[in-house]
Amino acid sequence: MVSSGTLWGRIRPTTSRAVLILGGVIIAALLAMSGYEIWRQRQATLEAATQNLSALSLALTQQTERAFHSVELVMDSTAQSVQQAGGPDKMRPLDLHRELKARVDGIPQMIGVAVVDREGFMIAGALRYPSPKTQFKDRDIFVRHRADPSLGVVIGAPHASPVDGRPIIPVSRRLSGPDGSFQGIVLAAVDPEYFQQFYRRVLPSEDGAFALFRTDGILLARSPQSDNTVIGQSFAHLRIFQPDTGPQGLAQGPSPMDGAYRLLAYQRLSSYPLVINVSLRRDVLLAPWLNNAGRLGLAAVLAVLLVSLATAVLTRQSRHEEAHAIALEESERRLRFAQFALDHAADMVFWVDSGGRILYTNHAATMRLEYPPDALVGQPIATVDPRFTDRAWRRLLPWLKRRRRAQFRSVHRTRRGVPYPAEVSVNYVEFEGADFVCAFARDISQRKAAEAALAEKTAKLEASNAELEQFAYVASHDLREPLRMVNSFVTMLARRYGDSLNDEAKEFIGFAQDGAVRMDRLILDLLEYSRVGRLDRPLVPLPLARGVEAAMRSLHVAIAESGAQVEVVPELPVVMANEEELTRLFLNLIGNALKYHHPDRAPQVRVGAQMVDGKVMCWVTDNGIGIAPQYYDRVFRIFQRLHGRDRYEGTGIGLAICKKIVERHGGRIWIESTPDQGSTFFFTLQAGPALA
């Protein structure tokens, strides 16, 4: 995904997004259109089917109506001829049989017709002669016709024929005398098979079904026949037989006959209490549609795939182009930024071609060299730096090509010919097969002046330091000579005239000797102090342990006498130090640790070191009398002591020497202490390289 925000925070509308949206819309439209078309075709198929069903049911109704009408006509004419003969008992059964047979002939839906007299005996039937003497007296139909003269034609529930056992639909009507008296009934047997065959012929397909019911739901005939639907069975529970249902209509649902989902048209006969159903299986009906929908769906899917592919390709392409455009714009903007920075940089910038011609100078360059903007473009570089004649430039270029970049100091010349020192860095650049040099130059006249001033100051300082050291050394050295003289003459005085001197004079001489000795010590200390950092003591890589061990050797008597315990951390590092001064440092610190021990306990001294921030931090810890914080600085000053000479021997130079040694080694020294508990002297030294 190309980010719409760039480094510079711009958000742009993208073509790729538009392509993506368009593709989405086309796909959605394609899916919607094909979905709608599939749905529409389905509706049309169902509509056409229901129309066909309605038409079919109407046609079948009329046909069925006609069939029953013919049966009724046969029964009516039979009744008429019986009436004309004066009643059923007035007719000869054989004649009646013949007549009935003649009437039934040519009417395929009728299996037979029979006449029953008022006593309930069958007089004659069309099928056989003589007819079986079947008794109808107690049959429901006989009783109903006898009781109700207005009953008309009654279509009974189908039952098995008493003659051959196949199912028949009984149809009956009353026989009345001229006075309306009950004379018996005419019975007709209608063949359900007739309807079944007829309907099968006209049904549109194997899956079509037809059924003939009485309006009370009793099944009279059905095609196709199935095992779980028996002629004569009642389907009164179905919705189409409910009293509120109209004379015709459409319905759909699972069929009670075979369980298949069916579309159904029903129609009530106008002259008989019968209903005709015609139905079609919905799945069969919809099969061609389903086929078609499948093809349509497939086409839609293919189209969607094609559109998706096209969208993907187009999106990719436009994203690519957009990314390219964004990158281009960004690089242009970066270029402008870089150009601005270059133009306004504090350093001078020059681009020079392979022939030594200036191609570009920035503002700082033209300003310093006192040219108008762009006036140097096209000029040879020697205009700025006279060293780079054409020949020199031709030599420089291949050298620079190998080195890629170089730095040097040079002298540049302004337009008026005023020279100034410059620090130049040149870079070789190959661009589109050509050689270029990009040079950055800085006017260092001020820096050079500052450097010169600093060097001068340093030299002066060094000279004065050396002088001071020399003075201190010479002074202390030369002071000892007269002091020695004073001391030896006072000693001589004491030795030679000692006996004639009184006690007070002897005491004075003692004081003078003492003072001379002390002064000598002070001068020696001063001498030593002045010697620290002398040039003949260079710093070299040195194991710290060496200084510690040397100091301990010098102190072994003091250690033994005081019963001290001195612990040194193993594996001390290597430092940059002068051995003599390092030994002096530890000698003073460990010596103090022994000297300023606590009167109540034997001294315990620990010496250690570790690396901290690239330096070696060393420490000497004791359990002595400690130092109060306000004296932390004072103890490092020369001849500063916290105790009188009567309590602790010393001149107060030891820590001053330590400080001087540490500082000249490039380190720092400080104290952490708790009075009455002990002190730790820390100092840092430069780490030395590890010695193999």
CB of 513 to ligand ADP, least distance (A): 21
CA distance 451 to 460: 14
Under the criterion CB under 6 A, does residue 314 sit at the interface with ligand ADP? no
Contact by Cβ (8 Å): 605, 593: yes
CB of 634 to ligand ADP, least distance (A): 8
- The set of long-range contacts for 5-14, using a CB threshold of 8 Å and a minimum separation of 24, is 6/326, 6/329, 6/330, 7/330, 8/330, 8/333, 12/322, 12/326, 14/318, 14/319, 14/322
Q: Which residues are CB-contacts of 45 (< 8 A; sequence separation ≥ 6)? A: 285, 286, 288, 289
CB of 678 to ligand ADP, least distance (A): 8
CB of 679 to ligand ADP, least distance (A): 5
Residue 98 or 664: the one with the smaller Cβ distance to ligand ADP is 664
CA distance 90 to 220: 35
CB of 576 to ligand ADP, least distance (A): 25
CA distance 515 to 650: 14
CB of 626 to ligand ADP, least distance (A): 6
Radius of gyration for the alpha carbons in the chain, expressed in angstroms and rounded: 68
Chain centroid, CA 279 distance in Å: 59
Binding segment for ligand ADP (CB under 6 A), chosen from 108-116, 188-196, 417-425, 585-593, is 585-593
| Residues near ligand ADP (CB under 6 A), total | 21
Residue 345 or 642: the one with the smaller Cβ distance to ligand ADP is 642
CB of 610 to ligand ADP, least distance (A): 21
Site for ligand ADP in 610-629 (CB under 6 A): 622, 624-627
Cβ neighbours around 263 below 10 Å, total: 20
Q: What share of the chain is helix, strand, coil (3-state, %, to 5)?
A: 50, 25, 30
Residue 221 or 587: the one with the smaller Cβ distance to ligand ADP is 587
Kindly state the DSSP code that residue 320 receives in the 8-state scheme: H
**Strand, helix or coil at 557?**
helix
**Judging by beta carbons within 10 Å of its beta carbon (0-12, 13-18, 19+), is residue 134 exposed, middle or buried?**
middle
For 371-397, letters b (16+ CB in 10 Å) and e give beeeebeeebbebbbeebeeeebeebb
CA distance 612 to 491: 55
Contact by Cβ (8 Å): 663, 581: no
CA distance 600 to 425: 71
Under the criterion CB under 6 A, does residue 593 sit at the interface with ligand ADP? yes
CB of 686 to ligand ADP, least distance (A): 24
Binding segment for ligand ADP (CB under 6 A), chosen from 181-189, 254-262, 311-319, 586-594, is 586-594
CA distance 386 to 356: 12
Under the criterion CB under 6 A, does residue 605 sit at the interface with ligand ADP? no
Under the criterion CB under 6 A, does residue 592 sit at the interface with ligand ADP? yes
Residue 279 or 679: the one with the smaller Cβ distance to ligand ADP is 679
CB of 617 to ligand ADP, least distance (A): 18
Contact by Cβ (8 Å): 32, 283: no
Kindly state the DSSP code that residue 132 receives in the 8-state scheme: P
676 φ, ψ (degrees, to nearest 5):
75, -5
Residue 131 or 679: the one with the smaller Cβ distance to ligand ADP is 679
CB of 524 to ligand ADP, least distance (A): 12
Residue 182 or 631: the one with the smaller Cβ distance to ligand ADP is 631
CA distance 577 to 506: 49
Beta strands in 369-418 (DSSP E): 405-413
Under the criterion CB under 6 A, does residue 679 sit at the interface with ligand ADP? yes
CB of 646 to ligand ADP, least distance (A): 12
Residue 203 or 625: the one with the smaller Cβ distance to ligand ADP is 625
> From residue 629 to residue 668, what is the string marking binding to ligand ADP with x (rule CB under 6 A)?
------x-----xxx------xxxxxxx------------
Number of H helices, E strands in the chain: 13, 23
Contact by Cβ (8 Å): 685, 662: yes
Site for ligand ADP in 266-285 (CB under 6 A): none
Cα-based angle 542, 545, 547 (whole degrees, multiple of 5): 70
Which residue has the closest beta carbon to ligand ADP?
650
Under the criterion CB under 6 A, does residue 532 sit at the interface with ligand ADP? no
Residue 178 or 644: the one with the smaller Cβ distance to ligand ADP is 644
CB of 645 to ligand ADP, least distance (A): 9
Beta strands in 282-404 (DSSP E): 348-353, 358-361
CA distance 433 to 427: 16
Binding segment for ligand ADP (CB under 6 A), chosen from 273-281, 434-442, 535-543, 588-596, is 588-596
**Strand, helix or coil at 568?**
strand
**Strand, helix or coil at 89?**
helix
Residue 185 or 593: the one with the smaller Cβ distance to ligand ADP is 593
CB of 642 to ligand ADP, least distance (A): 3
Residue 356 or 654: the one with the smaller Cβ distance to ligand ADP is 654
Residue 533 or 626: the one with the smaller Cβ distance to ligand ADP is 626
Residue 333 or 641: the one with the smaller Cβ distance to ligand ADP is 641
Residue 245 or 651: the one with the smaller Cβ distance to ligand ADP is 651
Residue 238 or 605: the one with the smaller Cβ distance to ligand ADP is 605
CB of 587 to ligand ADP, least distance (A): 11
Give the binding site for ligand ADP (CB under 6 A).
588, 592-593, 596, 622, 624-627, 635, 641-643, 650-656, 679
